[in-house]
Amino acid sequence: MRSVVRRFRSLPIRSRLAMLVAAAVAFGVAAVSVTCWFIVQGKLYDEIDNDLESQKGPLSYTQVQEAINNCGQDPTTTSNYRRQSEYYWQVVKADGTVCALDLSAGTVKVSSSDKDYAKNPDLESVTLRNGTDSDGKSVRVMTMPLVIMNPPTNGGGQSLAQDAAVVVAFPLKGTESTLNELALLLLLVSGIGVVGAGATGLAVARAGLRPVDKLTEAVEEVARTEDLSIRIPVEEDSEDEIARLSRSFNSMTASLANSRELQQQLIADAGHELRTPLTSLRTNVELLARSEETGRAIPPADRKALLASVTAQMTELAALIGDLQTLSRSDAGHQADRLQVVALQETVESALRRARLRGPELTIRADIQPWYVRAEPSALERAIVNILDNAVKFSPPGEAIDVVLKDGELTVRDHGPGIPTEDLPHVFDRFWRSPSARALPGSGLGLSIVARTVQQSGGEVSLTPAQGGGTVATIRLPGAPTPPPEVQ
């Protein structure tokens, strides 16, 4: 059985659908055919039974005497044995003795029910059954009480014979022939129906799976050519499962194409950003190497400046590579097992300590209230540090930076030059730097990392111009003012 199931599952879907449709139709046709056959059989037998019951009535005294004279005789040995009537008439005694009214008609084999009826005849009812005659042919048998019409010489009237019954039978040859022909016809119709259902099921399966074939071809074409611009045509008003699958495939390829484009853009932007410090670093190293090779010493002040430039460029490269690694980890997906319940107020205070070291000449005013969020601790702290670094970088000496954390909303307000309105839509793009900030150190990835980290924590971040000048950075994170029970 299991091997049959495995073989069935290994077949193509269209073949399985065709077989299932054919099996369902076969079951339905078989049920209808069998039901029809039994209904027709019942109707035919009812007609025969009605005909047999129409034969009920008393027998004449002469008929009974003739039957008694034929008791125990075999009609097949009688010289005048011939079929003259469709009905079998015979008297059956309680001991099973058969007394045929007409030997030419043959006799019916007696059953135990006939003997029982002969012992206890019932004027109100008869019994009906199937049986066979002396030649083994099928007959329909009715057993009824033996009522005798007495002759006038015996006083006339009717009398019920005891320990005897009358058996009347009708041959079933015509009925069985009709039922056999009906069975053959139903079998033929069922076979045609099953074959037609299988063919129809196969045709329907092919038509229904044609979009799946197109989808398969498209997937194979994408795998072969890596062309993510391939799309499957879908009717706009179609809402069936195949249309939804096709739309999902188109959405998937569009997302993959967009992801590939972003990766290529990231590589191109990273290459462009790396080229400048690498070129400068190579130039400075070549100057130092040429000085060593030619023996012409570089003035101490110039040498010190070159070494400082090399150090700064290496620091810039290290920072850029670190930002790229952070961003690539974010692009790879935020794993749920790295999420923890984080006390946001503690993370902000840690970032403030680092910011105060980088801008000792600035005043940082902080109003921090408790707030607990679910995030990756190191990534969240890095994002807040980037926001504070930008505020420190663009704030003039002697100015103040206001940091407020209240009800899950962190705002960092500086008094710097602010961000032009036309630049606000691009501040979170990778490697984007405003013209006024290109002379300052940085990779252009800080705000991109902030946006990605906040989004993965279920929050949102925005930069808006502040009243009176400067910029307000706002981070909103879902959470609660108290830690959950499992960390209390």
CB 139 within 8 A of CB 59: no
The position carrying tokens 């959470």 is 479
pTM recorded for the entire structure: 0.47
| pLDDT for the residue 2 | 64
**Residue 397: exposed, middle, or buried by beta-carbon count in 10 A (0-12, 13-18, 19+)?**
exposed
Ramachandran area for residue 209 (φ above 0: left; ψ -120 to 50: alpha; else beta): alpha
| pLDDT for the residue 83 | 41
**Residue 61: exposed, middle, or buried by beta-carbon count in 10 A (0-12, 13-18, 19+)?**
middle
**Does domain 56-171 fall into CATH 3.30.450?**
yes
Which residues on adjacent β-strands are paired with residue 147?
160
| pLDDT for the residue 274 | 67
Per residue in 248-281, pLDDT tens?
888 888 888 877 776 776 676 666 566 666 777 7
| pLDDT for the residue 79 | 38
Antiparallel, parallel or unpaired: β 158-171 and 88-93: antiparallel
**What type of residue sits at position 314?**
M
Per residue in 348-360, pLDDT tens?
998 888 888 777 7
**Token pair of 381, please?**
């702290």
CA separation, residue 276 to residues 59, 281, 283, 309 (Å): 129, 8, 11, 13
Q: In what order do the strands lie in the sheet with 363-368?
A: 363-368, 400-406, 409-413, 471-476, 460-465
| pLDDT for the residue 300 | 82
DSSP letter at 82 equals -
pLDDT in tens, the chain (488 residues): 566 556 656 667 767 777 777 788 888 888 888 999 999 999 999 999 998 888 888 887 777 777 777 786 665 554 343 345 678 888 888 888 888 877 666 788 888 888 888 888 887 888 899 999 888 889 999 998 888 877 766 666 777 778 888 888 999 988 989 999 999 998 898 888 888 877 877 777 777 777 777 777 877 887 787 777 777 777 777 777 777 877 888 888 888 887 777 677 667 666 656 666 677 778 878 887 887 778 777 788 877 877 887 787 777 677 667 666 666 665 544 455 577 889 999 999 988 888 887 777 888 899 999 999 988 888 888 888 888 888 888 888 888 899 999 998 999 999 888 887 777 777 777 665 555 555 455 556 667 778 888 888 889 998 888 888 888 999 999 989 888 776 55
Which residues on adjacent β-strands are paired with residue 167?
90, 143
Distant-in-sequence, close-in-space partners of 135: CB < 8 Å, separation ≥ 6:
76, 106
Which residues on adjacent β-strands are paired with residue 165?
92, 145
CA distance 179 to 420: 96
Every domain of the chain and the residues it spans: 2-46+179-210, 56-171, 241-330, 333-487
DSSP string, 415-462: -SS---GGGGGGTTSTT---GGGTTSS--S-HHHHHHHHHHHTT-EEE
| pLDDT for the residue 405 | 93
CB 216 within 8 A of CB 242: no
Under CATH, which number does the domain 333-487 receive?
Answer: 3.30.565.10
**Token pair of 100, please?**
């045929």
CA distance 475 to 160: 112
**Terminal alpha carbon distance of the chain:** 58
SS3 341: strand
**Token pair of 376, please?**
């990756």
Under CATH, which number does the domain 241-330 receive?
Answer: 1.10.287.130
| pLDDT for the residue 59 | 80
| pLDDT for the residue 289 | 82
**Residue 350: HSE in the Cβ half-sphere, 13 Å Cα cutoff:** 13
